[in-house]
């Protein structure tokens, strides 16, 4: 079975990340994230975002998202998110676990983008004592369906939330792909995002996600929280080093641009050489295809791992490691099975 397009998690570490990890292994360093490698990585993130922020590194996006949401909502409150967002569909209730009961309210919207009307309608609902009221908004950039919010789309969602005094979280597991698609990284703080999860793993790092707190008051006793949650690495330099390597070399952006380009090539090949149609616009590194169950099964039997997503479409994900040859082989196989 080939896992080239099963997920961007199936790819190995990018060479720049691996080289930085090897370099970090030389000699001795301070522990628990107080080392020079972690400091340099945090400084580069602040430079990329063009703002001051508290930065910590954790092992997984699930932990980063859940800790972030627990900072923005009390246990008797809830977080608004797209109903297909990772926090709603793929984190096994972790936001509620870390937030000691924090709820999630799923909102509709095409191609992973929250519908503004649905958001404002929910914000306008009368609060009652029998339901968890919204206290924060979670946004995903790029979205679970491979689309990219524009600055104005984000502003239209964030402004009414901030006007009510609520917090805003951004899940940036594939933020590099959004940036490669033209999204301005420096606009995030100005939009009113309180906590950002800047993705490393899907960008080619090992298992590192950066928890970026623009509202620095949220960082009060953050190291205690991370320690209690099992998210403070004793040898912190090895957690931050791969992401540092990607940022120092510019590979965080360039590898994402490559992945996006491979997704466009794959989409073009599928549309022109097969009867299948795209389910969503291809704006980042994922391609969603309307494919009958029989054709999907034949593709799996031909040795290609790909999965049916929440909306019934079949998802193909490109990464830094995706090759033109692999794209052409997959297109050929899909064209052959009909």
pLDDT at 135: 98
- Domain shared by 315 and 207, yes or no: no
Q: What is the tally of structural domains in the chain? A: 2
**For the residues of 89-109, what is the DSSP string, one character each?**
HSSTTHHHHHTTS-EEEEE--
- Domain shared by 225 and 273, yes or no: no
**Where does a domain end: 220, 251, 282?**
251
**Where does a domain end: 198, 227, 251?**
251
| pLDDT of 244 above 90 | yes
Q: What CATH number is associated with residue 126?
A: 3.40.640.10
- Domain shared by 139 and 195, yes or no: yes
| Residue 6, domain member (yes or no) | no
- Domain shared by 180 and 325, yes or no: no
**40-74 pLDDT, tens digit each:** 999 999 999 999 999 999 999 999 999 999 999 99
**93-118 pLDDT, tens digit each:** 999 999 999 999 999 999 999 999 99
**Where does a domain end: 210, 234, 251?**
251
- Domain shared by 267 and 166, yes or no: no
Structure tokens at 200: 């490393």
Distance, in Å, from the CA atom of 272 to the CA atom of 263, rounded to the nearest integer, reads: 14
Q: What CATH number is associated with residue 330?
A: 3.90.1150.10
Structure tokens at 73: 């909502």
- Domain shared by 243 and 175, yes or no: yes
**182-238 pLDDT, tens digit each:** 999 999 999 999 999 999 999 999 999 999 999 999 999 999 999 999 999 999 999
- Domain shared by 158 and 141, yes or no: yes
pTM for the whole structure: 0.97
- Domain shared by 312 and 209, yes or no: no
- Domain shared by 243 and 262, yes or no: no
Q: Which domain holds residue 80?
A: 15-251
Distance, in Å, from the CA atom of 10 to the CA atom of 7, rounded to the nearest integer, reads: 6
- Domain shared by 236 and 258, yes or no: no
- Domain shared by 245 and 266, yes or no: no
Neighbours of 185 (CB within 10 A): 18
Distance, in Å, from the CA atom of 122 to the CA atom of 245, rounded to the nearest integer, reads: 42
**In whole numbers, what is the pLDDT of the chain averaged over residues?**
97
């Amino acid at each position: 079975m080939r896992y080239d397009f099963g997920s961007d998690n199936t790819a190995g570490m990018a060479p720049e990340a691996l080289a930085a990890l090897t370099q970090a292994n030389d000699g001795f360093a301070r522990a628990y994230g107080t080392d020079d490698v972690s400091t340099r990585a945090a400084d580069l993130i602040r430079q990329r975002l063009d703002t001051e922020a508290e930065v910590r590194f954790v092992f997984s996006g699930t932990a980063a998202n859940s800790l972030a949401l627990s900072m923005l909502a009390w246990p008797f409150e809830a977080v608004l998110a797209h109903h297909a967002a990772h926090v709603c569909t793929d984190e096994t209730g972790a936001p509620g676990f870390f937030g000691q009961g924090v709820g999630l309210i799923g909102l509709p919207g095409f191609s992973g983008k929250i519908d503004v009307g649905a958001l404002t309608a929910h914000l306008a609902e009368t609060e009652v004592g029998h339901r968890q009221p919204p206290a924060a908004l979670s946004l995903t950039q790029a979205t679970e369906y491979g689309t990219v919010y524009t600055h104005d789309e984000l502003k239209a969602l964030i402004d009414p939330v901030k006007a009510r005094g609520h917090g805003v979280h951004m899940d940036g597991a594939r933020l590099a792909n959004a940036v490669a698609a033209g999204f301005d990284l420096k606009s995030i703080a100005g939009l009113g995002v309180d906590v950002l999860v800047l993705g490393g793993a899907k960008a080619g790092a090992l298992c590192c996600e950066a928890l970026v707190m623009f509202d620095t008051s949220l960082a009060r006793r953050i190291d205690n929280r991370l320690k209690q949650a099992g998210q403070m690495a004793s040898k912190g330099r090895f957690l931050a080093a791969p992401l540092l390597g990607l940022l120092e070399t510019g590979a965080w952006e360039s590898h994402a641009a490559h992945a996006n380009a491979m997704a466009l090539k794959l989409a073009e090949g599928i549309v022109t050489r097969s009867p299948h149609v795209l389910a969503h616009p291809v704006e980042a590194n994922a391609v969603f295809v309307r494919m009958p169950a029989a054709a999907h099964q034949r593709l799996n039997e031909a040795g290609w791992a790909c999965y049916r997503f929440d909306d019934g479409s079949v998802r193909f994900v490109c990464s830094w490691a995706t090759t033109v040859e692999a794209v052409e082989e997959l297109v050929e196989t899909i064209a052959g099975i009909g």
